[in-house]
Amino acid sequence: MRNQGVGTWIHRRRVKSAGKTALISGGAELSYDEFARRVDRLANAFAARGVAKGDRVAYLGENHAAFLETFFACGTLGAVFVPLNTRLAPPEIQFALQDSGSRVLVHARTLEPLAVRGGKDTALTHRLVVEDAGAAGGQEPLPGVAVELFEDVIAGGEDTHPDVEVSLEDAAMILYTSGTTGRPKGALLTHGNMTWNSVNVLVDYDMVSSDIALMIAPMFHVASLGMGVLPALLKGATVILEPRFEPGRTLHLIEKYRATSISGVPTTYQMLCEHPDWESTDISSLTKLTCGGSAVPMRVLEAYENRGLSFTGGYGMTETAPGATSLAPDKSRDKAGSAGLPHFFTDVRIADPAGEVLPAGQVGEIQIMGPNVIKEYWNRPDATAESYADGVWFRSGDMGYVDEEGYLYISDRLKDMIISGGENIYPAEVEQIIVELEAVSSAAVIGVPDEKWGEVPRAIVTVRDGYQVTAEDIQNHLQGRLARYKIPKSIIIVEDLPRTASGKIRKADLRKQYSQ
């Protein structure tokens, strides 16, 4: 085959694992052979609608078989997959579609209003609608955009495998990350980035073909896709796709399907162990618990240890596809608070502002190098140039240090990013929209502790002389412009903000004063 990318994975698996269950989605099971046939039909249908190598195809929907069918069909043709966060507001969806130049949008029927509003004034030529039981439709069509049902499109596709020349260096996916300057950036992941990340997972996490991976985190985040789904399918394991996380149902599915692995953020695991069914559910099949985003609280760690389970932790980001380091379960107590060691084919260093490597124990910027690290941002040469030291090491923007044994510890976030329930929130993006209000003179957003979500955004705002504005006014202004999780849960109006001599807001001072 001329295609050396991820697009051939399912096609190759249909031979090695033809009769085995690949996906369980919505209660329906797909074997590797059935999965491969649907991917081929969809790829041919895309090609018949003008999708060629390098073209972008977007997907808007929760975890569903159609997500992966679209992803692998794109990979088969050498097209570029653009997964969209379902929690974004219409203007944010529109920006991603416009910036990527996506020609086709595959979306869930339940998200049709968001798809239609976000699809205005974009390069879209086709919308493919994934039907869900009981979903309502009937939205006004977008001018010049053909609308078809996803299943009809697959049924009409030719049942042959296209063999397009695709290399590991070719673009596979664009994932949008909120920019520190308020403008989202499209991280361009190649087939090589995703392949090497999957190899890292197989090496460091001991995944086997008999695994049954329950995916409760959304695949439009690279952690769920890169650390869970793709390595499992590469290995020939079974993946269960859940559209959204609900702790009681998750416990039920673990017992029903004898799931061996789940992944999530600390909030996920806390909600599971605090659910009334926790003690009565048989979770003895679990062997792998992967947690990212932040450290697991000790009380949660102990709740799982009491059931004979421990966590694999780690550190990474969209730009590393996403794994950079991992902490083995047997080190969860000895190295409590650590993000672990670099993945097998990845290197991590701590450097000062001049690019000099720092010795163990000294705090500096975390920088990453490896075949899983992106080489560029989509159409953003400025952001690309700023993100690399010596043109090789990716500058994470996070601060940390390594101990004498090479274990990484995160000490601060250089970019002030807030992580709320596993979702990344960049204050600049929120601040930019707050100050659109004529009454607001300046705004600063910080993260404050939250028992359920780890942290949530709080805005500290100043008002222009002669104007009045309330916290409710500001929140109403943000509704529909930002994803709900990005909207500050609390807003404090003050007379002035602490600033440096150059006029920059002192976020550290604000955190000290307003973080409680």
Q: What is the pLDDT along the chain (516 residues), one digit of tens a residue?
A: 899 999 999 999 999 999 999 999 998 999 999 999 999 999 999 999 999 999 999 999 999 999 999 999 999 999 999 999 999 999 999 999 999 999 999 999 999 999 999 999 999 999 999 997 444 455 668 999 999 999 999 999 999 999 999 999 999 999 998 755 567 899 999 999 999 999 999 999 989 999 999 999 999 999 999 999 999 999 999 999 999 999 999 999 999 999 999 998 888 998 999 999 999 999 999 999 999 877 777 888 899 999 999 999 999 999 999 999 999 999 988 998 899 999 999 999 999 989 999 999 999 999 999 999 999 999 999 999 999 998 899 999 999 999 999 999 998 776 688 989 888 888 888 998 999 898 999 999 999 999 889 999 999 999 988 999 999 999 999 999 999 999 999 999 999 999 865 567 888 899 999 988
Residue found under tokens 């980035």: 193
Residue 138: per-residue pLDDT: 56
Yes or no: say if 356 and 408 are a contact pair by the CB < 8 Å rule. Answer: no
| Residue 237 belongs to some domain of the structure | no
d(CA 97, CA 105): 9
Residue 180: per-residue pLDDT: 53
CATH, residue 114: 3.40.50.980
| Residue 363 belongs to some domain of the structure | no
The last residue of one of the domains, among 151, 166, 181, is 166
Domains in the chain, number: 2
| Residue 112 belongs to some domain of the structure | yes
Residue found under tokens 């929760």: 62
State both tokens at 87: 């929690």
* Type of residue at 274: E
216-255 pLDDT, tens per residue?
999 999 999 999 999 999 999 999 999 999 999 999 999 9
β-strand pairing of 171-177 with 146-149: unpaired
CATH, residue 427: 3.30.300.30
Q: CA dist 153 to 46, 49, 146, 427, 431, Å?
A: 9, 10, 12, 41, 42
Nearest alpha carbon to residue 365 among 325, 324, 398: 398
Q: CA dist 467 to 400, 440, 441, 444, 459, Å?
A: 43, 8, 10, 19, 18
| Residue 171 belongs to some domain of the structure | no
Yes or no: say if 131 and 112 are a contact pair by the CB < 8 Å rule. Answer: no
Residue 391: per-residue pLDDT: 87
| Residue 231 belongs to some domain of the structure | no
b/e string for 12-42 if b means 16 or more Cβ within 10 A?
A: ebbeebeeebbbbbeeeebbbbbbbbbbbbb
Residue 136: per-residue pLDDT: 46
Parent domain of 94: 50-166
Residue 141: per-residue pLDDT: 83
The last residue of one of the domains, among 166, 181, 196, is 166
Residue 179: per-residue pLDDT: 57
d(CA 386, CA 415): 13
Q: What's the whole-model pTM score?
A: 0.89
State both tokens at 170: 């070719």
Residue 367: per-residue pLDDT: 98
The last residue of one of the domains, among 136, 166, 196, is 166
| Residue 17 belongs to some domain of the structure | no
| Residue 73 belongs to some domain of the structure | yes
| Residue 446 belongs to some domain of the structure | yes
